[in-house]
Amino acid sequence: MSERPYAGVRVLDLSQGFAGPYCASILAQQGADVAKIEPPTGDWGRLMGNARNGLSALSLVGNLGKRSLCIDAAKPEAREVLRRLAARADVVLESFRPGVAARLGVGWDDVRAVNPSAIYASITGFGQEGPYAERPGTDTVIQALTGVMALHRDDAGKASRVGFIVADISTGLYAAQAIGAALFARQKDRAGQRLDLSLMHAATAFQSINVIDDYLSAGAPRQSGTVPSGTYPTADGEIALVSIRSDMFQNLCRALGRQDWIDDPALATNEARLKRADEINAAVGEITRTNTSAYWLDRLREHDVICAPINDYSDLREDPQAKFTGIFARVHQPELGDLPAPCLPGRGKIARELPPAPGLGAHGDELLREAGFGDAEIAALRRAGVVQGK
């Protein structure tokens, strides 16, 4: 696979937060020239989490490889700047609430008028129309609405959010895929098209298996698909293991010293084991807690049982398989130093170093010159406060 399949594709990224920026970052890491447009205060993602020197993990991952232009869109002159940038873009990406992009002069109709071959992608919480269209859609709200929290309950039955922004991430992935498909289709007829993506739709699609399984089970309490399966205590921590088929269950029994389970005809099928899930899982836990994680992982692997340690992120960075396959690359971020970042899947060991995320407005003049603005025009825009930053 070419390292830069989107080389020559120009993307105007008007989005903020993570879903839209992550989509555009995926395109940038595959060669697209992405112009990130930010307000004077910066993309609000720069302020999330452990923000330092105008960057956070969220804004860094969401903006790798882009160039930044800082524009005060409230100024009347900003409409012409955005129009000229959109006129030369292959892809325009925005994540405003419905109607906001049109008020800024970069709605679908505005862009189509000056650039009929542009791919125009909108990302919202709930879509352009409907009873929720005007509502703000955050990852927490989307997890609550789409069943993620109901699925993710603690031992006391309390619903809680998954500990990463699954709605934003899934939306960014689906958006990048949809844009790639639209660019491919455009090769045939040079026609642009509008793409309408929502966090609600993407988060639901991301759970397609669970959605169908829930329908087929007619609302019955959800069960694990196989037994045993899950996390189990050891003398010094926890491990994860699963047995998918009956032969795998027998291998696990041998590793645990439970020949009696193999000989028990009442445990011969997965369906039968599901009926005794609590008993089996509790028994497995009692056995595994008698020795260390390292001991059990070695013993389970000797018997070809699917298992793994419970890694935290520092463990993952040092994992021998992660190192061998080149999952992590270096990002030299001037404001923060060298950082480990996962490469895009599918690219193998090509990218040992990823391009950094831009500082606020760090590429303003060069992006404006590429859009046809002369030095005198740029100076006037800066004096008027339309263009800010470096």
| Helix intervals (H) in 56-206 | 57-61, 78-87, 100-103, 108-114, 139-145, 148-151, 166-189, 199-205
- pTM, 2 dp: 0.92
CA distance 116 to 118: 6
3-state class (DSSP) for residue 239 = strand
Q: Two tokens at 35?
A: 């112009």
Q: Which helix (H) or strand (E) holds 308?
A: strand 306-309
Task: Just give the CATH number of 10-208+327-388.
Answer: 3.40.50.10540
Could you say which DSSP state residue 344 is in? Answer: P
CA 42 to chain centroid, in Å, comes to 21
pLDDT in the model for residue 350? 59
Residue 348 in contact with residue 362, Cβ under 8 Å?
Answer: no
pLDDT in the model for residue 221? 62
pLDDT in the model for residue 1? 45
pLDDT in the model for residue 178? 98
Strands 10-13 and 337-342: unpaired
Task: Just give the CATH number of 229-315.
Answer: 3.30.1540.10
pLDDT in the model for residue 369? 96
Residue 87 in contact with residue 161, Cβ under 8 Å?
Answer: no
pLDDT in the model for residue 262? 96
- Number of Cβ within 10 Å of residue 174's Cβ equals 22
Could you say which DSSP state residue 73 is in? Answer: T
Instruction: Point out which residues pair with 196 in neighbouring strands.
Output: 122
Residue 322 in contact with residue 343, Cβ under 8 Å?
Answer: no
pLDDT in the model for residue 348? 61
Q: Two tokens at 79?
A: 């409409």
Tokens 């930044």 belong to which residue? 68
Q: Tens place of pLDDT for every residue, the chain, 390 residues?
A: 467 899 999 999 999 999 999 999 999 999 999 999 999 999 999 988 888 888 999 999 999 999 999 999 999 999 999 999 999 999 999 999 999 999 999 999 999 999 999 999 999 999 999 999 999 999 999 999 999 999 988 878 899 999 999 999 999 999 999 999 999 999 988 889 999 999 999 999 999 999 998 888 886 666 667 899 999 999 999 999 999 999 999 999 999 999 999 999 999 999 999 999 999 999 999 999 999 999 999 999 999 999 999 999 999 999 999 999 899 999 999 989 999 999 998 866 656 788 999 999 999 999 999 999 999 999 999 999 999 987
pLDDT in the model for residue 155? 75
Instruction: Point out which residues pair with 11 in neighbouring strands.
Output: 34, 91
Using a 10 angstrom Cβ sphere, with 0-12 exposed, 13-18 middle and 19 or more buried, the burial of residue 305 is: buried
What are the phi and psi torsion angles at 148 (to 5°)?
-60, -45
Domain parsing of the chain, residue ranges = 10-208+327-388, 229-315
